Structure 1
Amino acid sequence: MRVLLVASFGGHWVQLQRLAAMLEVDEQVFVSTAEAQHGGASYYLDDFSVRELWRGVRQLPRAIGIVRRIWPDLIISTGAAPGLLVLFAGFLLGKKTLWVDSIANCRRLSLSGRVAKLFASQVLTQWPKLASGRVRYLGRLL
């Protein structure tokens, strides 16, 4: 199984690395934001927020290209907006996608997590009280 793992630099990247260490798969390929170029990712996107969607729209062809090149069995993101963009590219290409909302979001899902609910194959929260509808709780990464 080939898994494409995507996260912005910082806390999202740390959580993704912890999640990746628990996976037993044949191949892991990482995508991060340009700030993480020293962090071991194979592909990079410019960072942006959901409130700056125009920056993400400009990068959608690149995100689709990454998914096409890797052709993963599963795409996993811990956030933020660049991860959401790659999950959306995977959705457009018929790939299975998993959004894991940050543990920092204890009162409600992040804005990106709420958007991910619209198209991701699965959305996970790290807080039991936030699980409802399409959002599941399976435990914490930290």
Structure 2
Amino acid sequence: MAASFGGHWVELQRLSPLLDVAEYEFVSTAEQQNTSATYYLDDFSVRELWRGVRQLPRAIGIVRRSRPDLIISTGAAPGLLVLFAGFLLGKKTLWVDSIANCRRLSLSGRAARLFASQVLTQWPELAVGRVRYLGRLL
């Protein structure tokens, strides 16, 4: 499970107890925030892709070490990077777009549509094409 610190992290924390899984590990930013994350990436935005490209080997290493059956992210760009690393390694991936994006998918969510196994929105009117609505986290 991967998310940037802040609202994305809060949504991921609300989602995790709803899952019927034996164990999970968290990837986040903001190591100094004392999160329950096992792995950390530096924060960056999709508009700063060069920062993400530099961290791609690290994200691939995280996915290889943790050997997940499924990777879930609520965003933002660092979570998208972990999903992309999972895609490259043939893992199932799930993007849950933030509830804050009520008019259109986030930029990261639009990118996730290109490779994620599944993309979810928290607004029924945004469920178009490969994007599905299953409910809200808040």
TM-score (norm 2): 0.98
Separation of aligned partners in 2, 1:60 and 1:39: 22
Q: Which moved more, 1:56-65 or 1:28-37?
A: 28-37
Separation of aligned partners in 2, 1:107 and 1:100: 15
CA positional deviation for 1:34: 2.4
Partners of 1:9 and 1:35 within 8 A in 2: no
Separation of aligned partners in 1, 2:32 and 2:68: 22
| Residue 63 in structure 1 maps to residue 72 in structure 2 | no
Q: Which runs of 4+ in 1 moved over 4 A?
A: none
| Residue 50 in structure 1 maps to residue 46 in structure 2 | yes
Q: 1:43/1:28 Cα in 2 relative to 1: closer, same or farther (>3 Å)?
A: same
TM-score (norm 1): 0.95
Report the structure, 1 or 2, having the larger strand content. Answer: 1
- The Cα offsets for residues 46-66 of structure 1, whole Å up to 9 and x where unpaired, read as 000000000000000000000
- The Cα offsets for residues 82-120 of structure 1, whole Å up to 9 and x where unpaired, read as 000000000000000000000000000000000000000
Question: Percent same amino acid among aligned pairs?
Answer: 85
**Code of the aligned partner of 2:103:** R
| Residue 73 in structure 1 maps to residue 66 in structure 2 | no
Partners of 1:37 and 1:44 within 8 A in 2: no
Indicate the RMSD between aligned Cα atoms, in angstroms.
0.8
| Residue 141 in structure 1 maps to residue 137 in structure 2 | yes
Q: Which residue of 1 aligns with 2:89?
A: 93
